Amino acid sequence: MEYFRKVTDLETGNVYKISIGEHRTFTETAAHFEVARSSLIKVLLELGVCQKEYDAVIREYRHRLHPDAAKKGLGYRLMGPKGPFDVLSPTAIEWIGEELQDLLKSTSISPETRHALSKLQLFDTQYRERMNLEGRVRWLFYHFPDLNRTEVAKALCVSRTIVQRYIKIQQDQLRRAHQAKAQALS
């Protein structure tokens, strides 16, 4: 959502709306980077951009933008009609995108998985359009069937359940294709 700042010209008294950029909530930012929200929150906590705060109204902890990050211009802490929420500024989103890639590379995954991910990245750069998450998972397990599913899920910042679901769909489609081919030949 695009945010505006109202500025009053003291000489003329006119009020002007100045765009301050496209800001996104944590959930929208996670969708933008195609990662799970929980993975993004872990990165934000590690970078010191967000913190865990107790909300007395709902009697739960929530992850909120750190006040120091808001002072640095990395986002806004807002109070909406249904409760508090935070948005990240374009500068913060760009910075998080750069750091996210570094954090993904430094995860503790095996050399085989790291090799497979580098091959996927090479293929993805040569391909006309970037593959979506399902395409990346299916490509990885088609070319590297012995990969550890938990490590792949961690490297792609998604849950193991999602990886498992995409693999099962792929296996079912391949099984049906082989059955159809066998029936056609007999």
pLDDT digit string (tens) for the chain, length 186 residues: 666 668 887 888 888 887 666 788 888 888 888 877 877 888 888 888 889 988 887 788 888 989 998 899 888 888 878 778 888 988 888 888 887 877 765 555 778 888 898 899 889 888 878 888 999 999 999 999 999 888 888 888 788 999 999 999 999 999 999 999 999 887
Cα separation of 5 and 23, whole Å? 13
The encoded tokens of residue 15 equal 């009020």
pTM here is 0.53
Q: Is 33 exposed, middle or buried (0-12, 13-18, 19+ CB in 10 A)?
A: middle
Cα separation of 76 and 91, whole Å? 12
